[in-house]
Amino acid sequence: MMKMKKILGVLVLSITFLTLAACGGVESNTTDDGSKVYELNLNVSAAPTSPFNVNVAEPWAEYVEKETDGVVKVNVFPSAALGSLATSFDDVNAGVYEAGLVPPGLHVDTDLFPLTIADTPFLVNSPEVAQKVVTQFVDQFMKDSFVEGTFMGVSSTDSYQIYSTNPIQSVEDLNNQKLSDSVAARLELFKQLGAVPVSLDNTALYESLERGVVDSVAYTAVGANGYKLSEVAPYMTKVDLAVSVLPFFINTNFLDSLPEEIKQQFVDDFGPKYADLMTELYTSSAEEGIKIYEEAVKDKGGAVYEPTAEEMEEFKAPVKKQMENWVNEANKRGYNGQEMMDYFVELLESAGVQVPK
């Protein structure tokens, strides 16, 4: 029923575009030289004025249109207008929209499951590592995993930190704290550390902190400033908990409908370009985001705390067991979990990551 509502919503939007076209409000369905125009609807969860929309989605749309001489027209729909991230895998596969990000942690019961390996805390710690390591992992184990949607590239957010209403300087400070996230692997870590895990959508973080529904939340520095979490959570603990890996998918039928030369452009250039723009955004904005937050909470007595090496070891203590649990779950689903984990760890170590032992 939910999928049908979304499809109907897209049909309404399509009718609107056609109506505008009839009134001269949008471009016709051919280029100046008479070539057919292929319209690609890009679903973006971020707001229209967000750094993601301004620095990733819109520039990518312009780039694709320029490089295809207008043969592909990209319509950007911000604020998850065409569907939430929680249904993005099915939505892209069904053609509710042609392209968008699909977080594996929200689709554990699909063919994306192997990529949940990257949700394990304290493994993938930056967008650069995500783009390099996860791409190689997909090439090794998942080349033939996707049919209706085509994997085009991957990056990630900046690292998740802990934002709280009271200072958290050690694992002991997490005891009985109601701590929110949306990814199961991180929620399991919080539980093992003595916190009370609460699953919340990103859009509910501010209100939940303000009303005392939760005591603390895990989120990225870039995202936290966008939601103004400094107003309700004056303390940040810089643990570099994890990133949220963000694969970029395009509907396969749409991709196959394109002229062969342009289809190859998507595979060789446009898909990786989207990942490159994400990596650039989140890499350049992460440290600045922490500084902005720190300045915003200074007058409220708030602060940013960075745990010592010994304290970080306590935060990371459950990770080895979580890695073993992931292997066991992968085996149950018919994968060779240990082979996947061994290869993933090898890739991480080659990228300079110190994997918890």
Same fold, 2-104+131-153+245-285 and 160-243+288-350: yes
Domain boundaries 2-104+131-153+245-285, corresponding CATH code: 3.40.190.170
Q: 3-state SS string over the chain?
A: CHHHHHHHHHHHHHHHHHHHHHCCCCCCCECCCCCECEEEEEECCCCCCCHHHHHHHHHHHHHHHHHCCCCEEEEEECCCCCCCHHHHHHHHHHCCCCEEECCHHHCCCCCCHHHHHHHCCCCCCCHHHHHHHHHHHHHHHCCCCCCCEEEEEEEECCCEEEEECCCCCCHHHHCCCEEEECCHHHHHHHHHCCCEEEECCHHHHHHHHHCCCCCEEEEEHHHHHHCCHHHCCCEEECCCCCCCEEEEEEEHHHHHHCCHHHHHHHHHHHHHHHHHHHHHHHHHHHHHHHHHHHHHHHCCCCEEECCCHHHHHHHHCCHHHHHHHHHHHHHHCCCCHHHHHHHHHHHHHHCCCCCCC
* In the predicted structure, residue 227 carries a pLDDT above the cut 90: no
* In the predicted structure, residue 64 carries a pLDDT above the cut 70: yes
Looking at residues 183-187, what average pLDDT do you find?
91
CA–CA gap between residue 354 and residue 124 (Å, rounded) = 10
> Both tokens of residue 254?
């749409």
Looking at residues 302-328, what average pLDDT do you find?
96
Domain boundaries 160-243+288-350, corresponding CATH code: 3.40.190.170
* In the predicted structure, residue 245 carries a pLDDT above the cut 60: yes
Please state the pTM of the whole predicted model: 0.85
Query: Which of 5-14, 183-192, 331-340 is most confident?
Result: 331-340
Q: Which residues neighbour 27 within 8 Å (Cβ) at sequence distance 6 or greater?
A: 21, 37, 70, 73
* In the predicted structure, residue 317 carries a pLDDT above the cut 50: yes
Beta-ladder partners of 244: none
Q: What is the pLDDT of residues 269-280, one digit of tens each?
A: 999 999 999 999
> Both tokens of residue 242?
């994890």
Looking at residues 231-246, what average pLDDT do you find?
95
How is the chain split into domains, by residue range?
2-104+131-153+245-285, 160-243+288-350
The total of other beta-carbon atoms located within 10 Å of residue 351's CB is: 16
Lowest mean pLDDT among 14-18, 38-42, 85-89, 288-292: 14-18
CA–CA gap between residue 247 and residue 222 (Å, rounded) = 19
Mean pLDDT of the chain: 90
* In the predicted structure, residue 11 carries a pLDDT above the cut 70: no
